[in-house]
Amino acid sequence: MLRNLHIKNLALIREIDIDFAEGLNILTGETGAGKSIIIDSVNLALGGRAVRSLVRDDADYGLVELLFEVDDEETISALRDMDVDPEDGVILISRKMKGTRSIFRINGETRPVGDVRECASLLLDIHGQSEHQKLLGSEHQLSLLDAYGREEIADARAAVASLYSTYSALKKRLESEEMSEEERNRQKSFLEFEVNEISSAYLSPGEDEQLEKTYKKLVNSKKIVEAVGTAHDLTGYDGQDSAGESIGRAIRCLEGVSSYDSDVEELLSMLSSVDDLLNDFNRSLSDYLEGLEFADEAFAETEARLDLINHLKSKYGRSVDDILAVLEEKKEQLTAIENYEEERDALCREFASSEKELEAASAELTALRKKTAEAFSMGVREQLADLNFARADFEIRFNEPGSYSANGRDRIDFMIATNPGEERRILKSVVSGGELSRIMLGIKTMFAAGDRTGTLIFDEVDTGISGRTAQKVAEKMAVISRGRQVLCITHLPQIAAMADTHYGITKDVTGGSAVTRIEVLDERESEEELARLLGGAEITQNTQKNAREMKEMCRHYKKSVL
C-alpha cells in the first residue's frame, strides 16, 4: 500500500507529507485548492510527463516521493526479479526535477524511468480519464477479457504466442529467400565465377607467408651475395688480414711458449677452440654461397604468384586462410542456389504445417474466449445494475478473424445498450464520460478479488454523476477497498461520506503566494466538509444533519460488506 506521499515545490504545494491509511482514502476540497496536483504528482513520480512550469518559481527544484509498504510474497518476488529488494518491506520511489533534468530513484538508487514504471505497475494502479478512454479500444477490451479468464485462457494464449513466433520466423524466411528464376541464374553464374576464380589458384594454407619470405630473399639477392662473400673472405685463411690467418699466427706464437706456463697452455686451448669454430663457420659460408641460385625465372614465378594471391586478397580476405574460408562459404551458397527449388518446397511445407498448428491453437483460444465472454458479460450486466444503469444490456461481439498475431486472431467490441428497448451498439458510440467511468469502475470491481495490486487510485470517477448513481459508485468503491487500499479525489458528498479516512485540501494565501495544504479530518471536521459539499457556501443545521445521516448510512453499509 501507499503509506506516504511527499511533495515539495510543485505548483501550489510548497511542501506536504501525506500519510495514507488502509481502506478507502477520500480527498476533498474547494475547486482550485490543488486536488489535481496530488494525482499529478503521483503520476510524475511514476514517469509521467513533466513541464518546467510545474516547479514553483521561487524554487530550484521539485520533488515527489512515494513510500510503499509491501507484504505480498508474490509481489516481493516479482520486485526482486527486477533487482528491487524491499528493505524491511518498504519501497521508496522518488523523482527530482531541476531545469530540464529529472532523476528517478528506487530505494535511493538511480534507475531509468522504465524500471520505475515497471516497479510501480506492481504496486499501484491509477484509473483516470486516460484509463477510461483505453476502455474504448478493441485491443484493451481483449486484454481485459483475457485477464478475466486468465486461469482458463493463459495456457492457450501462451501456446499461440509460441506457435506464432515460429510461424512469423518461417514467413520471414520465405519472404527474404523469394527469388525469381532470372535472379537465381544471375546469382548462380556469379557464384560459379567466384568459386572457379579461387579454386583455380590451388591455394595452400600459409602459402602467402612463405612466398613473401622467398620474394624478399630474391629481390635482395645481390646484397646477400656481396655480404656473404665479404664475410667469407674476412673469416677465411687466404688473405693476410683475414681472421683465420690472424688466429693461426696467434696460435703459433702461443705454441712456442705454452710449455713454460700452464696458464698460457690453457689460453692456447681456448684459442684453438675459436679457430675450430671459425673454420666451421667459414666452410658453412662457402656451402651457402655455392647453394645460392637467383635465376630470373624463379623470381618471375614468385612475383606472379604473389600478384595472383594479392589480387584474391583484395576481393576475398586478408590472408590465404581467409580466402579458403570464403571459398567454402561460396560453395555452400552455390549448393543452396542449385537446390533452391527442393529447399523452397521443404520450407513451404514446414510453413504450411506451422500455419495449420497456429490456426488450430488460435481457434482453441477463440473458443475459450467466447466461453469467458459469456461470464464476463453477465458480470458486467450485474455491475451495471448495481451502478444505477436502468436495465442496461451488455455483450462482447466477436468480429471476423483478423490476421495472425501473438495474441491470436480475435477482434472484439464491447457492445452496450444503456436504456431498455435500445439495440446494443459499440461502446464508444454510446456512452458519455460519466457512464464510461462507471463501467470501468464496475469492471474493476469484478477484478478486485484476484487483483494483487496493493493500491488503486481513482481520478474523475465522479464525472457526470450525482444523486443515487453517486451513492452506487460510493458503494462499489467501498467494496473494492475491503481488500486493498483505495485513494479517490471527489467533489461528491455521497462518495466522501464512504471514507475510512477523509483528507481535506485547502488553499491559503500568505505573503502574496498561494499554498496548498492537506490534513486528515477528524469526525467533526469530516461532517463539516460533507455539509459544505451538500450545501455549498452556507452551511445550515439541516445540511449538518444530512451530513451526519449520510455518514451513518455509510457506516452501516460498510459493516454489511465486511
What pLDDT score was predicted for residue 178?
67
In a domain, 32, yes or no: yes
What pLDDT score was predicted for residue 410?
94
List, in sequence order, every residue forming a beta bridge with 4; answer none if it has no partner.
19, 67
Other C-beta atoms closer than 10 Å to the C-beta of 332 total: 11
- 16 and 114 in a common domain: yes
Q: Which residue is listed with cell 520465405?
A: 174
What pLDDT score was predicted for residue 511?
65
In a domain, 364, yes or no: no
Range of the domain at 271: 207-318
- 97 and 8 in a common domain: yes
Residues 6+ apart with CB under 8 A from 395: 373, 377, 415, 424
What pLDDT score was predicted for residue 521?
94
Q: Provide φ and ψ at 44, rounded to 5°.
A: -60, -45
Spatial distance between the Cα atoms of 546 and 548, rounded to a whole number of angstroms: 5
Spatial distance between the Cα atoms of 500 and 486, rounded to a whole number of angstroms: 10
- 124 and 211 in a common domain: no
**Read out DSSP for 479-494?**
HHTTSSEEEEE---HH
Residues 6+ apart with CB under 8 A from 167: 351, 354, 355, 358, 404
List, in sequence order, every residue forming a beta bridge with 127; answer none if it has no partner.
458
In a domain, 170, yes or no: no
User: Is 0.85 topped by the overall pTM?
Assistant: no
Out of 481, 499, 518, a domain closes at 518
In a domain, 403, yes or no: no
In a domain, 174, yes or no: no
- 56: three-class secondary structure by DSSP: coil
- 39: three-class secondary structure by DSSP: helix
- 118 and 21 in a common domain: yes
Spatial distance between the Cα atoms of 71 and 332, rounded to a whole number of angstroms: 59
Hey, CA dihedral for 404, 406, 408, 414, is it positive or negative? negative
* C-alpha cell at position 124: 499501484
* C-alpha cell at position 133: 478512454
- 121 and 6 in a common domain: yes
- 91 and 1 in a common domain: yes
In a domain, 388, yes or no: no
Hey, CA dihedral for 488, 493, 496, 502, is it positive or negative? positive
Nearest Cα to 395, choosing from 419, 412, 420?
A: 412
In a domain, 11, yes or no: yes
- Per the CB < 8 A criterion, the answer to whether 252 and 268 are in contact is no
Residues 332-338: contacts with CB within 8 Å, 24+ apart?
Answer: 333/187, 333/191, 334/188, 334/191, 334/192, 334/195, 337/184, 337/187, 337/188, 337/191, 338/188
List, in sequence order, every residue forming a beta bridge with 64; answer none if it has no partner.
7, 95
DSSP 160: H
What pLDDT score was predicted for residue 130?
63
Domains identified in the chain, total number:
2
CATH of the domain at 471: 3.40.50.300
Distance from first CA to last CA of the chain, Å, rounded? Answer: 19
Spatial distance between the Cα atoms of 160 and 169, rounded to a whole number of angstroms: 14
In a domain, 499, yes or no: yes
- 124 and 1 in a common domain: yes
Q: In what order do the strands lie in the sheet with 109-110?
A: 13-19, 2-10, 62-69, 90-98, 101-106, 109-110
* C-alpha cell at position 386: 448495481
Out of 289, 318, 347, a domain closes at 318
CA atoms within 13 A on the CB side of 140: 12
Spatial distance between the Cα atoms of 451 and 50, rounded to a whole number of angstroms: 29
- 213 and 105 in a common domain: no
In a structure prediction context, what are the per-residue pLDDT tens digits for the chain, which is 562 residues long? 999 999 999 888 888 999 999 999 999 988 777 777 888 888 889 888 877 778 888 888 999 999 999 988 888 888 998 999 888 889 999 999 988 888 999 999 999 999 998 998 888 888 766 666 777 888 889 988 998 888 899 999 999 999 999 999 998 888 766 666 677 678 778 888 998 988 888 888 888 888 888 777 777 766 777 777 778 777 777 777 788 778 877 888 887 787 787 888 888 888 888 888 888 888 888 877 776 666 567 778 878 888 888 899 888 888 889 999 999 999 888 887 777 677 778 888 889 999 999 999 999 999 999 999 999 999 999 888 888 887 888 999 999 888 999 999 999 999 998 877 788 888 878 767 677 778 888 888 887 666 667 888 887 677 777 788 888 889 888 888 887 899 998 889 999 999 999 999 888 877 667 788 889 999 999 999 999 888 866 788 888 899 999 999 999 998 887 6
What pLDDT score was predicted for residue 449?
61
Out of 481, 502, 518, a domain closes at 518
Spatial distance between the Cα atoms of 515 and 351, rounded to a whole number of angstroms: 66
